[in-house]
Structure 1
Amino acid sequence: MTSGDDVFTTRTGPASPAAPPDSPHTPARASGRETARLAARIVAPTLAGGVIIRRRTGMALAERYQVDRRAIALLGELRGEHGPGPLRLDVAGRRFAVLLHPEDAGRVLAGTPDPYTPATREKRAALEQFQPHGVLISTEEERGGRDERRAFNEAVLEYGKQTHSLAPALVRTVREEAGKLLGAATAGDGEIDWRRFHTAWNRTVRRIVLGDAARDDTALTAMLDRLRSAGNWSFAAPRRTALRDRFERRLRAHLDRAEPGSLAAALSRTPAAPGTDPAGQVPHWLFAFDAAGIAAFRTLALLSTHGRQRDQVRGELAVTDLSAPHLLPYTRACVLDTVRLWPTTPFLLRESVRETRWGADTLPAGTGFLIYAPLFHRDEALPYADRLTPEIWLDGTARHTEALLPFSAGPAGCPGEDLVLLATSTALAALLERHDYLPERPARLRPDRPLPRTLDHFSLRLAALPR
């Protein structure tokens, strides 16, 4: 979802010492001109938009110039010229390979953490600003021989359970905050924009993760946002050590309270092996929930213009007691397809820890592998590439389509997928139960036209209309 790499993703598991099967696709080398074009059309716009925390100006420009459309076109052109194998390029003394075939993307993600670690040099430099012991950037030695940090995250977040044991408290929290958001909107100008939605979402997230007493601790979120802003610059930014120390002290005060019904309470009662650093895992949860908010707001905007899908959601809500936890499969599928359309984490990064075989060639240890998710999500061969199609997540189509990665894939992902889908679907249910929405610019999301390849969530404005 945003956020540097695999946010709230798929089931983790023990690392295997054996590499995945060799790819039949032999790498090709990009020319200097092609490397410059890739940097200008893909890397620079991604950095401008913000990798760790989104930048308002960068996202506005990205939508204006439809940078994802241009990037996908360029990668398609290069694939046609060089073939489906990885495209090798050297940048600033580093070796990279851009993956152009969905099977290769799946191979690399499945081969994590050996031979393809998620703890790339660039990612570690960025995320160490606020989560130096986070599982996503932990080396094999730091994770522990049995992957203790990952096992701890899975235990607290209850991966594999579509309804978390804290679901009753979560549903109550989400519905309360959604109600307050709607109440403030209808008492004012009737509008919900990103600022208002994001403020309400942050309150919701602080309550889910840290408890009700953290609801109004905007200073904690502001500190994290400043650290994430520094993380946007990766190696180029100095370490904000003093700020991180203040953030960690404030965070630990909430965690020490272990308020019942919160993830902090679940964390306090979950056994942790030495070196796990339980508190050090929490910044990533807060960070990743931000991407979930972007996905939820975009989904709400889509449903404001897509009447058929909105009616399907409302049909699901009409036969459900929304005060209690429910799966809401169609609503969840709408969130999944929104993230397919606009991945909150467009680049997935891996780095080889040893030499790997690719067709008739090998790539050396230390090669950085770049997976640009929009290339596969918006492949023109997919009949639903530019349309909202939640059904693919319900009828098996998505499961049998290579490299659809709305929440990434493979054993390197954060195990909160079920929790975030529960939170976002519950929020959408609360917002759609008794209100309609009218977007300020409905033409940009018309269902009878291909949806834009880039969507700036900062610019979305919705008029909330009681039904």
Structure 2
Amino acid sequence: MAISSRLDTARVLATVLLPTLAKGVIVRRPGVMALAEKTRSDSAAIDTLRHLRDRYGPEPVRLRITGRSVAVLVDPADVGRLLAESPAPFSLATREKKSALEHFQPHGVLISEGEERRRLRELNEGALRPENVPVEAVVRDEADLLIRHVMSTGELTWDGFAQTWWRIVRRIVLGDGARGDDQLVDDLKALRQNANWAFLHPKRRGLRDRFQHRLDEHLRRREDGSLAAQPGDLSGQVPHWLFAFDSAGIVTMRALAIGARGTRGVLESARLWPTTPVILRESTEPTRWHGTWLPKNTEFIVFSPFFHRDPERLPYADRYAPEIWDRPLDPAIVPFSGGPGVCPGRDLVLATGGAMLDALGEHLSFRVVDAPLPRTLNHFSLRLQATRTGTRVS
């Protein structure tokens, strides 16, 4: 088993883990994202992972961190195994993840274990189906207003897009009665900002109670045509659905910046700029890797941008390549994670994001980011110049 030098451990911390934490793992920080884009931080991180692979070979590389067993994966086959063998012996409910998500979703499936996880996973998979809600009708209804606004101003900004996106999300998740409830999303954002600090920030129980009360009022309506109408106790799961839809909005905005359309366009955007750049698993028992045993409670780190944008393995690494989704993929290209822990809302997110791309693309053409595509793309600063297509808005 390869053990990194102290210098290489410091390099991983400085170029991979700390920048990822600084950008915000639960909600992005605009100022840090702008700095990351300027300094090309993801390129530096990818170079670091390539250095580890070249120096230590394909086996997991253990970092020299006192008091913890931490291993960084550098081989796609190992990523496939780690995800396929989750949640046992590789648990999704790592200590770091629990300390962050407990700020706003202490009962979510992502940090549940055992029989409780099985029950919640089944509930989520049943509820988060595209056919449960009129996705395209909701998207087109809300996109109509955004299209008119962009036609009048000549550009699409993140702020304008995000306002429309959250109206769509609230209608899909909670129903038309929640369309204008900006306070719900604002409270959730505040809780998620605290969650960025995980155990370093005290829990704001009053704010969380206010958010949960507001959310439960919407859920009690069980409005037809929304996810809230699905059977089961959804109260503890919806905060994570809203959290995930935030990432989906970022992915969709970035897709517009590269001229993407449909669900394959959403997938490509998520490959090029994964919104979960670090995937964590923690072993519940000793596990063997390349002939060497790693102890129980080893934390495994998968840095997705390295596997998604590695030019040594992927000829399409830095370009828009929707055609790759028509065939079997490299096992480490996992924009929605993989294995039993794959995002249960994957199909719903793809349907919503794809519908948004198509609705806007029917009426607007955007000036796109030039190739080769940057490895860091700050969605907050995107200002997409737009021109009308030949289709009129009804």
TM-score range normalised by the length of the shorter chain? over 0.9
CA distance in 2, matches of 1:180, 1:28: 56
Residue number in structure 1 paired with 2:108: 134
Kindly indicate whether residue 255 of structure 2 is the aligned counterpart of residue 288 of structure 1. no
Kindly indicate whether residue 145 of structure 2 is the aligned counterpart of residue 165 of structure 1. no
After TM superposition, the structure 1 = structure 2 runs for residues 163-312 of structure 1, keeping only pairs within 5 Å, are: 163-166=130-133, 169-187=134-152, 189-266=153-230, 270=231, 272=232, 277-303=233-259
Kindly indicate whether residue 394 of structure 2 is the aligned counterpart of residue 465 of structure 1. no
Residue number in structure 1 paired with 2:266: 335
After TM superposition, the structure 1 = structure 2 runs for residues 329-408 of structure 1, keeping only pairs within 5 Å, are: 331-380=262-311, 381-394=313-326, 396=327, 399-408=328-337
Please state how far the C-alpha of 1:249 moved relative to its aligned partner.
0.4
Task: Return closer, same or farther for 1:241/1:92 CA change in 2, 3 Å cut-off.
Answer: farther
Q: Is the CA contact (8 Å cut-off) linking 1:129 and 1:230 kept in structure 2?
A: yes
The RMSD of aligned alpha carbons is: 1.3
Q: SS at the partner of 2:385? A: strand
Residue number in structure 2 paired with 1:101: 75
Unaligned runs of 5+ in 1: 1-26, 304-309, 314-330
- Residue deviations 1:234-285, cap 9 Å, x none? 111111111111110000000001111110012xxx2x4xxxx521011111
Q: SS at the partner of 2:293? A: strand
CA distance in 2, matches of 1:195, 1:387: 26
CA distance in 2, matches of 1:351, 1:242: 31
2:279 is matched by which residue type in structure 1?
L
Please state how far the C-alpha of 1:115 moved relative to its aligned partner.
0.3
Q: Is the CA contact (8 Å cut-off) linking 1:84 and 1:101 kept in structure 2?
A: yes
Residue number in structure 1 paired with 2:392: none
Q: Is the CA contact (8 Å cut-off) linking 2:62 and 2:71 kept in structure 1?
A: yes
Task: Return closer, same or farther for 1:265/1:92 CA change in 2, 3 Å cut-off.
Answer: farther
- Residue deviations 1:395-446, cap 9 Å, x none? x1xx2422111111110133111111110111111101021123xxx5xx21
- Residue deviations 1:165-218, cap 9 Å, x none? 32xx2211111111111222333x232111111111011100110011111101
With the length of structure 1 as denominator, give the TM-score of the two structures: 0.81
2:151 is matched by which residue type in structure 1?
T
Residue number in structure 2 paired with 1:456: 378
Q: Is the CA contact (8 Å cut-off) linking 2:143 and 2:359 kept in structure 1?
A: yes
With the length of structure 2 as denominator, give the TM-score of the two structures: 0.96
CA distance in 2, matches of 1:334, 1:385: 15
Q: Is the CA contact (8 Å cut-off) linking 1:352 and 1:365 kept in structure 2?
A: yes
Please state how far the C-alpha of 1:141 moved relative to its aligned partner.
4.8
Residue number in structure 1 paired with 2:26: 52
Q: Is the CA contact (8 Å cut-off) linking 2:169 and 2:242 kept in structure 1?
A: yes
CA distance in 2, matches of 1:171, 1:92: 51
Q: Is the CA contact (8 Å cut-off) linking 2:132 and 2:225 kept in structure 1?
A: no
Q: Is the CA contact (8 Å cut-off) linking 2:132 and 2:227 kept in structure 1?
A: no
CA distance in 2, matches of 1:136, 1:90: 28
CA distance in 1, matches of 2:277, 2:58: 20
Please state how far the C-alpha of 1:92 moved relative to its aligned partner.
5.4
CA distance in 1, matches of 2:336, 2:329: 15
1:457 is matched by which residue type in structure 2?
H
CA distance in 2, matches of 1:129, 1:94: 24
CA distance in 2, matches of 1:105, 1:413: 13
Residue number in structure 2 paired with 1:12: none
CA distance in 1, matches of 2:359, 2:290: 51
Please state how far the C-alpha of 1:95 moved relative to its aligned partner.
1.6
Residue number in structure 2 paired with 1:8: none
Q: Is the CA contact (8 Å cut-off) linking 1:130 and 1:283 kept in structure 2?
A: yes
Identity %: 51
Q: Is the CA contact (8 Å cut-off) linking 1:211 and 1:261 kept in structure 2?
A: yes
Q: SS at the partner of 1:280? A: coil
After TM superposition, the structure 1 = structure 2 runs for residues 316-335 of structure 1, keeping only pairs within 5 Å, are: 331-335=262-266
Q: Is the CA contact (8 Å cut-off) linking 1:347 and 1:371 kept in structure 2?
A: yes
2:374 is matched by which residue type in structure 1?
P
How many residue pairs match? The answer is 388
Q: SS at the partner of 1:247? A: helix
